[in-house]
A and B are shown apart, each in its own frame.
Chain A
Amino acid sequence: MTPVPPTYSAITLNINGEKYTLPVDHRTTLLDALREHLDLTGTKKGCDQGQCGACTLLIDGRRAVSCLQLAVAAEGREITTIEGVAEGEQLHPVQQAFLDLDGYQCGYCTPGQICSALGMIEEHAAGWPSAVTDDVRPEAGPPPLSADEIRERMSGNLCRCGAYVSIVQAVAQAAGAQTAEAEEAAA
């Protein structure tokens, strides 16, 4: 048998452009490292099983759930949490849209929704199709960011208060998408 390997490591995490060095129990998820060790509590724990999206943040620019990401395995990657989204006092347009259009109620899923929206807008800009895209072939071109596309792409973030309608409007506004429904709702 192999010797018992160490179960702790000293790691350095790159979070919102800053380096944090800390010892971690290998069992510690990135989510718990942020919340319990680094006092970065903006990233929320809703289910701890990858089934709600409340812990969504960006890893190397892509959205990910931090409850299933071990902290030790996140070393060397660029992590952006909700605390790193605004530019100083200046809210990011996605944050401003959630605030203005009331894209939340209790606010607990909100940091995850906002980080997810940031990643989603980039994914769409890169031309990625979604499960509701009629024709996924590259020749068909990128799908317009309709309300249905936003709904599908944001479905990994559950909101129990039921703020989905204004979440979709906030994402559409921030993405600069003029969906027919957003126009209808504003009329």
Chain B
Amino acid sequence: MREFGYQRVLDVSGAVALLDADPDARFLGGGTNLVDLMKTGVERPARLVDVRELPLDRIESTRDGGLRIGATVTNSDLAAHPEVRRHYPALTQAVLAGASGQLRNMATVGGNLLQRTRCGYFTDVTKPCNKRVPGSGCPAIEGEHHNHAILGASDHCVATHPSDMAVALTAFDTVVAYETADGPGELPLADFYLPVGDTPHLETALPPGALITGVTLPPAPTAANSRYRKVRERASYAFAIGSIAAALDVEDGLVRDVRLAFGAVASRPWRARAAERALTGGPATADAFAAAADAELAAARPLPHNAYKVTLMRNLVVAVLTELAEEASR
């Protein structure tokens, strides 16, 4: 690990000023991903700006009935918050499905959005990786990729985004708020992560030096009937091989509103808009759910060892929407 400077900041403007002055600086939140990446040499910042004590640790209801969640709220506090559990249960479930109790106590909302892929080529600096060293190649495509992307990937990178929390946030149209030296800004989470293309090292649309200050969940009555389900290679404390955040509102057997997002299938949380369009206004039946999943997964481009994810995601869509339809009719 390279030697680095450390500064703790107590206000947002001071934090962004420090990063603005030093492009080799990074914000330190819970450190659960950044410190690990520094140990393995993937990240080599010259300075850490510790933002854990910024006054961004609150969860507040917005006037229109949504929620605003500060960037330094820990994953644990987010998951345990009564308003989150009541109005967005899939978000609580997604957060609780991630990492472990002790990591969730440390990790922050802002850091969770910005965590890096766990692709084994990315995390090993002795290997080529276009995301880490642009132009060096992507050995995963010909190598070990049974847990890599089937949607939205490119010939340059097939890594997946590891967050569970972000999948649920994506399903609920979350907006990310940030601050730069030039002032505040906002980005819908749908536009927050950049397409892979030939620039997999460029991961988010945040301006350089921007500090995430929080996320806003718009009101979503449908989200009260929501669920997150995660499949992984161990019952707990493992990253997903496929996950789904879903919310469903059914009236008279017809889908009035549906939200669907997939995890562990793309370089970002994957909002399944084609499936949502196929379902909205139609019957809430297993056949319809399957057809909608197929509509979404028609775009899948699996590699030799991850084609199972197409089947997995189709099955998860049917299983979770069927459960939610039963709940809705109760």
Contacts and interface: CB of A to CB of B under 8 A. Distances in A.
A50 B103 contact: yes
B92 interface: yes
B8 A73 contact: yes
B134 to A, nearest CB: 23
Given A26-B4, A26-B48, A64 B236 contact: no
B46 interface: yes
Interface in A87-146: 116, 119-120, 123, 126-131, 133, 136-139
A62 B104 CA distance: 10
Interface of A: 1-2, 4-7, 9, 25-27, 29, 48-50, 53, 56, 59, 62-65, 68-70, 72-73, 116, 119-120, 123, 126-131, 133, 136-139, 151-153, 155-158
A70 B6 contact: yes
A136 B85 contact: yes
Those 10 A-B pairs whose CB atoms lie nearest each other, nearest first:
A156-B100, A5-B5, A155-B236, A7-B3, A138-B82, A131-B96, A63-B102, A62-B105, A2-B22, A68-B35
A139 B102 contact: no
Given A26-B4, A27-B4, A131 B93 contact: yes
B96 A53 contact: no
B76 to A, nearest CB: 7
Contacts of B6: 5, 9, 26, 70, 72-73
Contact of B39 (A26, A49, A155): A49
B114 to A, nearest CB: 15
Given A63-B101, A131-B97, A26 B5 contact: yes
A165 to B, nearest CB: 15
Contacts of A26: 3-6, 48
Given A50-B32, A129-B79, A156 B103 contact: yes
A151 to B, nearest CB: 8
Interface in B1-58: 1, 3-8, 21-22, 28, 30-32, 35-36, 38-40, 46-48, 50, 52
B216 to A, nearest CB: 21
Contact of B86 (A27, A50, A70, A138): A138
Contact of B105 (A4, A6, A64, A152): A64
